[in-house]
Chain A
């Protein structure tokens, strides 16, 4: 009669016994008391430096985005303004102070930008994309991206993210999600207004043009107050007005 209740599993116990030498149960003093160690739930997908997955665009880059913007996104997932179940679950209990600390960590990361694949679009579409990004389409009351996201399109502190260096899939998916109401901001939601005025072809064009732009040597967001937004934006402090 075997001493083990489940003789079939003897090899498992043997294997476990062999591994025991390699990894000890640590005590608290051996776990790094760092934010990086604490936020394994974030870095597992977004990368240790918030680099994201530029090749697929599935997990967005967080590195170098304005801290105010990042903190607001965490809050928006908590409040259900942005819909993505794994993110909503992960951030649901975080306190505002912790959210800001985590946002600050990723905002401070310096990671070189990588080129991501862009679908084949014709020259006319790219031209249209450039026009939308740099001048907008006044006839359809579509402001230029640059009007808010900065002349270099690298964003404006503290709340406006950069648009260059992002994958095509990511940009087009975000514009799409404003139209399907799975991404929203505090009202008045200026991006929802803009996304609703863009056609699908516009979204493809502007996403493709942005994704093909070189990132300037200094990709930091421009200082606060560098732009005067043409639309009322709740995230930039505008109050809801009766419509």
Chain B
């Protein structure tokens, strides 16, 4: 039996050594405080370029509390593992980036490590930002340094056990993160490469537009195939414009229009994407928007999805939904589901109506809301919320109807689905 015990101890020893080595490998040094602000950082052109890049990255969306000072942090990003507050990015010495050197900033963006040497939670999407060029990072840093410093302490993340352990984060990073860089594809056009750089890097589109696994990891080798946004319960659709893609049939002009104005001939932005359009994409230059469209149009076709045929006989549900639609919806969206160009979005062929889960249609029917406010639509039209007027069964009926009518062919939704999402928090 002695050999057994010895063998066991040897294995245990190896394990301990492995873990120790691995933890050591994860260790990063704390970086010294910035000495002086380099004169280079004060170049107004550089700062302006950084402001533009910060808009593309939509940094302010997370790094600004509701009603708070821009970039002063404090907004908690909800995740299935707990809330992670976004830190203060203004150059305040005590609570912001005041003591940060550019090297520290670059390491945070590129490697997801804070100035103190601790790994950062991937609620900060360094999984995408790692592809941002050092040059762009420098402009971003110059812009953030130019902001008025705001003293604002950010709370600690409130993660549940075991996600609050440093070792959990180290494991996550080992599984899902490698620092990388954007490598242009010489076979593609400069426009395509610019689009790929923006979408995969600062735009961090894939952070929402792909299904994460149970540990919140992004699947390897799968990009922009659509997924439910954890904790927020909206569905970010697949972005392929080719066969069976979520944006099947979208032209480059449609993509540019949606990102620039919040509306397109194929549908309108709402929920989290409305915020993205209002705060970020509407401020992008036309050449950058076109580059994004070019890149998205190159995404491959997707495998055919199972159609709307479901085991449940939804005939009665859909029939009732059709009557409700005629009474409540057709006056704006049209009996043919075509909507009104520039005013009310079409529902026929609308990616958000036919996305796999039905969540988006359910929540839009319940919440209503304004189309995004953009320079193109300063006084947007709106949809009434139906939460007070329609029961769960009614919403299920009308959503099942619009998912099946016209050219749409998506599965029906059930009353219990509506009940689940009726009270989803909106932040």
Interface residues of A (CB under 8 A from B): 5-6, 8-9, 11-12, 15-16, 19-20, 22-28, 30-31, 35, 37-45, 78-81, 85-86, 88-90, 92-95, 97-98, 101
12 contacts between A and B (CB under 8 A): A5-B309, A9-B319, A9-B404, A23-B331, A25-B340, A27-B341, A28-B340, A30-B340, A41-B384, A44-B385, A89-B367, A94-B373
| Residue among B307, B338, B384, B389 with most chain A CB within 10 A | B384
Within 8 A of A (CB), among B46-95: 66-67
A16 touches which one: B322, B372, B389 (CB < 8 A)?
A: B322
**Which of chain A's residues have a CB closer than 8 A to the CB of B387?**
86
Instruction: Tell me how far the C-beta of B107 lies from the nearest C-beta in chain A, rounded to whole angstroms.
Output: 33
B254 within 8 A of partner (CB): no
Within 8 A of A (CB), among B314-346: 315, 318-319, 322-323, 326, 330-332, 334-344
B322 touches which one: A12, A37, A41, A93 (CB < 8 A)?
A: A12
Within 8 A of A (CB), among B240-288: 274-275, 278
Closest partner residue, chain A, to B380 (CB atom) = A38
| Contact A89-B405, Cβ < 8 Å, known A16-B322, A40-B383 | no
* Known interface pairs A80-B67, A89-B426; 17 further A-B residue pairs with C-beta atoms within 8 A, sorted by A's residue number: A9-B318, A12-B404, A15-B319, A15-B323, A16-B335, A20-B336, A22-B326, A22-B335, A31-B340, A41-B369, A41-B385, A43-B384, A44-B384, A45-B388, A79-B67, A80-B66, A85-B426
- Assembly CA distance A90 to B367 (angstroms): 8
Q: Is the CB of A19 within 8 A of B326?
A: yes
B340 touches which one: A9, A27, A80 (CB < 8 A)?
A: A27
Instruction: Tell me how far the C-beta of A108 lies from the nearest C-beta in chain B, rounded to whole angstroms.
Output: 17
Closest partner residue, chain B, to A43 (CB atom) = B384
Instruction: Tell me how far the C-beta of A147 lies from the nearest C-beta in chain B, rounded to whole angstroms.
Output: 28
Q: Is the CB of A25 within 8 A of B336?
A: yes
**Which of chain B's residues have a CB closer than 8 A to the CB of A25?**
334-340
B379 within 8 A of partner (CB): yes
Q: Is the CB of B367 within 8 A of A86?
A: yes
B427 touches which one: A79, A81, A88 (CB < 8 A)?
A: A88
Q: Is the CB of B342 within 8 A of A85?
A: no
Q: Is the CB of B335 within 8 A of A20?
A: yes
Instruction: Tell me how far the C-beta of B66 lies from the nearest C-beta in chain A, rounded to whole angstroms.
Output: 4
Instruction: Tell me how far the C-beta of B247 lies from the nearest C-beta in chain A, rounded to whole angstroms.
Output: 22
- Assembly CA distance A8 to B318 (angstroms): 11
Q: Is the CB of B379 within 8 A of A9?
A: no
Q: Is the CB of A26 within 8 A of B367?
A: no
- Assembly CA distance A93 to B427 (angstroms): 13
- Assembly CA distance A93 to B261 (angstroms): 13
- Assembly CA distance A150 to B379 (angstroms): 34
Instruction: Tell me how far the C-beta of A105 lies from the nearest C-beta in chain B, rounded to whole angstroms.
Output: 11
B369 touches which one: A23, A31, A45, A89 (CB < 8 A)?
A: A89
**Which of chain B's residues have a CB closer than 8 A to the CB of A79?**
66-67
Instruction: Tell me how far the C-beta of A87 lies from the nearest C-beta in chain B, rounded to whole angstroms.
Output: 10
B329-368 vs A, Cβ < 8 Å mask (1 yes, 0 no): 0111011111111111000000000000000000000011
**Which of chain A's residues have a CB closer than 8 A to the CB of B326?**
19, 22-23
Q: Is the CB of B368 within 8 A of A90?
A: yes
Q: Is the CB of B315 within 8 A of A38?
A: no
Q: Is the CB of A93 within 8 A of B340?
A: no
- Assembly CA distance A85 to B422 (angstroms): 12
| Residue among A15, A39, A80, A92 with most chain B CB within 10 A | A92
**Which of chain B's residues have a CB closer than 8 A to the CB of A92?**
275
| Contact A97-B378, Cβ < 8 Å, known A28-B342, A80-B66 | yes
| Contact A44-B368, Cβ < 8 Å, known A93-B275, A98-B373 | yes
| Contact A15-B338, Cβ < 8 Å, known A9-B315, A41-B384, A88-B426 | no
**Which of chain A's residues have a CB closer than 8 A to the CB of B319?**
9, 11-12, 15
Q: Is the CB of B274 within 8 A of A93?
A: yes
Closest 8 CB pairs of A and B: A79-B67, A25-B334, A44-B384, A41-B382, A80-B66, A25-B338, A89-B426, A23-B330
- Assembly CA distance A35 to B381 (angstroms): 8
Q: Is the CB of A37 within 8 A of B426?
A: no
- Assembly CA distance A45 to B309 (angstroms): 37
Q: Is the CB of B368 within 8 A of A81?
A: no
Closest partner residue, chain B, to A53 (CB atom) = B388
Instruction: Tell me how far the C-beta of B267 lies from the nearest C-beta in chain A, rounded to whole angstroms.
Output: 15
B162 within 8 A of partner (CB): no
Q: Is the CB of A38 within 8 A of B67?
A: no
Q: Is the CB of A6 within 8 A of B66?
A: no
Instruction: Tell me how far the C-beta of B129 lies from the nearest C-beta in chain A, rounded to whole angstroms.
Output: 25
Instruction: Tell me how far the C-beta of B261 lies from the nearest C-beta in chain A, rounded to whole angstroms.
Output: 13
Q: Is the CB of A23 within 8 A of B368?
A: no
B379 touches which one: A35, A86, A88, A89 (CB < 8 A)?
A: A35
**Which of chain B's residues have a CB closer than 8 A to the CB of A12?**
315, 318-319, 322, 401, 404-405
**Which of chain B's residues have a CB closer than 8 A to the CB of A93?**
274-275, 278, 370, 372-373, 380
| Residue among A9, A79, A81 with most chain B CB within 10 A | A9
Q: Is the CB of A16 within 8 A of B379?
A: no
B221 within 8 A of partner (CB): no
- Assembly CA distance A31 to B371 (angstroms): 15
Q: Is the CB of B343 within 8 A of A31?
A: yes
- Assembly CA distance A112 to B373 (angstroms): 33
- Assembly CA distance A80 to B426 (angstroms): 12
Instruction: Tell me how far the C-beta of A82 lies from the nearest C-beta in chain B, rounded to whole angstroms.
Output: 10
A15 touches which one: B322, B369, B388 (CB < 8 A)?
A: B322
Q: Is the CB of A38 within 8 A of B335?
A: no
Q: Is the CB of A38 within 8 A of B334?
A: no
B213 within 8 A of partner (CB): no
**Which of chain A's residues have a CB closer than 8 A to the CB of B427?**
85, 88
| Contact A24-B426, Cβ < 8 Å, known A41-B369, A80-B67 | no
Instruction: Tell me how far the C-beta of B108 lies from the nearest C-beta in chain A, rounded to whole angstroms.
Output: 28
Closest partner residue, chain A, to B372 (CB atom) = A93
